[in-house]
Structure 1
Amino acid sequence: MSTHPDLPKTLVHFTGRPRAENEELPDFAQGDAEDRLVNILHSGVLRGNTTFWTDAPVICFSEVTEEARRVMLREGVRRGPYPPWGLVLDRERLIAVGARPALYVSRTELALIKEELPQRTYNRCVVYEPDAAKGRSDWLFEREWRLCYGPAQTAALKITPELVAGVIVGRKGWMPPPRQSAVHAASQLKSMLEDIPSMVQSLRENMPAGASVGRISVSSGSWTTKFAGAADRLARWYWDGGALVEDGFSFGVTGGPEQ
């Protein structure tokens, strides 16, 4: 891989961006940018959908350099700053699974490509019309890459520890919440405690003469913190309003990672 400073070793999948008011999101992408990052870490899967000019699902990434990331998070380019939430992914591994740079073309070229070239090539295209008289469309700053799928395929990229270099988050020391809520865990524990008297009675009825019940312990260990395996020990950078700051590692898993 080239070591040119303008070609970063990682790509970013931002889980939020400034959106048009009428833009609709798929069911799996509901909530805000933080919610979407949590869903990805919990499920271990990055999902795609159709987007502008595509007729089949794609997963999008950005080849922004470190300085460009700061600009996008601080002031943005067109519709305002990007929310500081996203996955930082290994460029070489994305290439290995088929991700490639988007093709920036005119509307005329786009029509020709749709007629003459394979669907996946068409779905890598982004309209580039910087002339306002032609209905200005200029998204070059995103330096977009796409992983394209067929119309009958499920656009789902498994997130592995080798693929994920880290996460961008909105605050220092951030941790994704447990998959199972504390309320649900507490309810389970309460139910178990209520069962103890009947457990003790059953033990007494079935124990040899002269034996006794000493102590019963109840553990809720793995109920309250369970993340996908890829969320274990991720590097983390938090946005302090002006820069991305290293924040060590995150998401040590209680009870072992879920594969």
Structure 2
Amino acid sequence: MADITVAGLIGPAQSDELVHFTGKGGSFTAGVPDDVRRMTPSERLDAMLGSRLLRGFPPFGDTRACVCFSESPPDHLAHLITMRGFSPWGIAITRNQMLNAGGGSVAYVTTAVRERFVNAGLGHWAVRTDTDSSWMHEREWRLPLNPGVAGARLGALAAILIGDPTWRPSLVGTGQWINGATGEPCQPGEDPFCRESEDFPELWRESVIWVWDKNSQRVVRHPPGTLC
């Protein structure tokens, strides 16, 4: 798929990297299943990296399932984590990736204006602002999902965000079989020591890793493959 050129320059209050957090303060929307609710933020990230599937659910006030991201330059990322209850676990993609996939930024509008979005079948693109609805700090972008689709398939990532420098994702099967005693390639069933080899998920091995440093309130960026 060809890249879309984002119109205009990205200024210091903006970010080309959009972050999907796997945990934040507040309640879940009604459509989130119990298995997802029970997971910790790191467990949700682990499942995401292993399956390459980013599951989506209807946001508050709408029925269209979406995957939600926050536009977070460094200072705002620190604000969300330290002041707004977001957990330092998740993934980041670029604006172009979001736009190419059919997503975009939401509109923060009054209740009356949002009703016009809803009436047009576009309620998932608008967030209501009022005294009881203050969400502009999320700087939200959404990727709507087609009906019946569980989530977005993950390709290359701009980064993976983790909150513990010692954390590593669960190993996954590589599709290759080796003799556990000798390390030589083998075929399943040809001897009792033949097993599928395991490695870190491809996304982990090929992505930049952001490690949240709570002391400096910044992320430390590690090149792909250096935390394997």
Distance 1:251 1:177 in 2: 16
Partner of residue 95 from structure 1, selected from 95, 99, 104: 99
Distance 1:65 1:125 in 2: 22
1:24–1:149: structure 2 CA closer, same or farther, 3 Å change rule? closer
Distance 2:96 2:203 in 1: 18
Query: Partner residue of 1:43?
Result: 51
Answering whether residue 136 of structure 2 is matched by residue 140 of structure 1, we say: yes
For the pair shown, the structure with the greater C-alpha radius of gyration is: 1
Distance 1:33 1:83 in 2: 7
Higher helix share: 1
State the one-letter code of the partner of 1:172.
P
* TM-score normalised over the length of structure 1: 0.70
Query: Partner residue of 1:71?
Result: 79
Query: Partner residue of 1:243?
Result: 218
Flag structure 1 segments of 5+ consecutive residues without an equivalent: 181-188, 190-198, 200-215, 254-259
State the shift of 1:21 in Å: 7.9
SS across alignment from 1:87: strand
State the shift of 1:86 in Å: 0.7
Answering whether residue 86 of structure 2 is matched by residue 112 of structure 1, we say: no
State the shift of 1:58 in Å: 0.8
Percent same amino acid at aligned positions?
Answer: 23
Answering whether residue 209 of structure 2 is matched by residue 233 of structure 1, we say: no
SS across alignment from 2:199: coil
| Mapped contact 2:21–2:91 kept (Cα < 8 A) | yes
Query: Partner residue of 1:154?
Result: 149
* TM-score normalised over the length of structure 2: 0.78
| Mapped contact 1:14–1:87 kept (Cα < 8 A) | yes
Distance 1:44 1:94 in 2: 16
1:251–1:28: structure 2 CA closer, same or farther, 3 Å change rule? farther
| Mapped contact 2:59–2:124 kept (Cα < 8 A) | no
State the one-letter code of the partner of 2:163.
G
Partner of residue 16 from structure 2, selected from 5, 9, 15: 9
State the shift of 1:22 in Å: 8.7
| Mapped contact 2:65–2:145 kept (Cα < 8 A) | yes
- CA-based RMSD of the aligned residues comes to 2.8
State the one-letter code of the partner of 1:158.
R
State the one-letter code of the partner of 1:16.
G
| Mapped contact 2:88–2:161 kept (Cα < 8 A) | yes
State the one-letter code of the partner of 2:102.
G
